[in-house]
């Protein structure tokens, strides 16, 4: 799972423990920990529940894989050009 998502999830959890937050989401702490650590991907219903509990909006976007790779290459080039 993308690092940015994991960081946002930790930020949304705030000072709550994983146990407390996972209980609010209605899932086991082990399942939540796997998602937050990037070892498991959440389902759409799980993402919807996270959005409800954290008072955020779930936005799903489909991006063609080739475009993602092209953008990654472009970003790397941009970073190299800035140095």
Q: pLDDT digits over 1-56, tens only?
A: 477 888 899 999 999 999 999 999 999 999 999 999 999 999 999 999 999 999 99
* CB contact at 8 A, 18 and 36: yes
**Sign of torsion over alpha carbons 55, 34, 14, 9:** negative
Q: What is the pTM of this model?
A: 0.69
**Sign of torsion over alpha carbons 68, 71, 76, 77:** positive
* CB contact at 8 A, 23 and 31: no
* CB contact at 8 A, 60 and 44: yes
């Amino acid at each position: 799972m993308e690092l940015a998502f994991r960081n946002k999830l930790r930020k949304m959890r705030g000072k709550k423990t994983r146990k407390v937050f996972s209980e609010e989401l209605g899932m086991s702490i082990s399942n939540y920990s796997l998602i937050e650590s990037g070892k498991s991907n959440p389902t759409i219903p799980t993402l919807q529940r996270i959005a409800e509990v954290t008072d955020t909006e779930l936005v799903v976007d489909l991006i063609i894989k080739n475009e993602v790779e092209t953008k990654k290459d472009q970003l790397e080039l941009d970073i190299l050009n800035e140095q």
